[in-house]
Structure 1
């Protein structure tokens, strides 16, 4: 059982922070493009990326932003809303750390969270604000068995 899942079983509250890290490869973008059908040439064509003033092809923003779902899946977060601000491109080979912070949780398990995704240089690439529902006692008991 992961640290994130263990904390969830104990119960989540405002101020809980979780971190995950991932390095993105070109193959990730190719797979995401096939699934999402987002074939924007900025992800596939060096010339197009250069014309947009990027130093190379970039990862899909939602692919990188999807790191939030790694945390959300571990804690059993049922999302009701997500807002993203894409601040910098992510290039193939970049290592991104997602810091997910529960900012508010009420007695009905309604919650808010913020996520900050930064690259290996400490530059923020994405900011996100989330709303959702945390697992209650019954769901946490099930998670404890896995």
Structure 2
């Protein structure tokens, strides 16, 4: 379950460099199973504990893109929010996320091109304060001029 978070839209005209938004979610077995079904990625490192014990992870891990999806939730629901269009995202996976881990996904505005409505953001996911994923997102933000 996601922590309560503000939802809505921050238009390009109101976005400032340094603005940050985040959410936290505990990754459950159900999340991993549902993501496997939706994505059709049934890699046993995500679903089979006996198999996963013999991997470099020594146990099951969540799909990396499940963790990355939390960044999409922050961008699509909070900053900039509803009406945002993803243009690009880089991802570097730094550590595994396991069932039961609480992930904090955050985005911070680092650059803007107001004329083109483009916003660049640092993106990060933390577990116990340690980065498990870092990257950069570029999005097309909503504008009051196009309401």
Query: In which range does the TM-score fall when normalised by the shorter chain?
Result: 0.7 to 0.9
Question: How many residues in Structure 1 have an aligned counterpart in Structure 2?
Answer: 137
Indicate the RMSD between aligned Cα atoms, in angstroms.
Answer: 1.7
- Counterparts of 2:76 and 2:138, CA distance in 1: 14
- Counterparts of 1:110 and 1:101, CA distance in 2: 14
- Counterparts of 1:5 and 1:17, CA distance in 2: 15
TM-score, normalisation: structure 2: 0.85
What's 1:103 paired with? 110
Match of 2:42 among 39, 42, 57: 39
| Aligned-partner SS, 1:38 | coil
- Counterparts of 2:114 and 2:70, CA distance in 1: 27
TM-score, normalisation: structure 1: 0.86
- Counterparts of 1:71 and 1:3, CA distance in 2: 10
What's 1:54 paired with? 57
| Aligned-partner SS, 1:58 | coil
What's 1:5 paired with? 8
Correspondence 1:1-146 to 2 at 5 A: 3=6, 5=8, 8=10, 11-74=14-77, 75=81, 76-108=83-115, 109-119=117-127, 121-138=128-145
* Aligned residues of 2:24 and 2:104 also touching (Cα < 8 A): yes
Instruction: Give unpaired runs (5+ residues) of structure 2.
Output: none
Instruction: Give unpaired runs (5+ residues) of structure 1.
Output: 142-146
* Aligned residues of 1:72 and 1:78 also touching (Cα < 8 A): no
Larger proportion of helix: 1
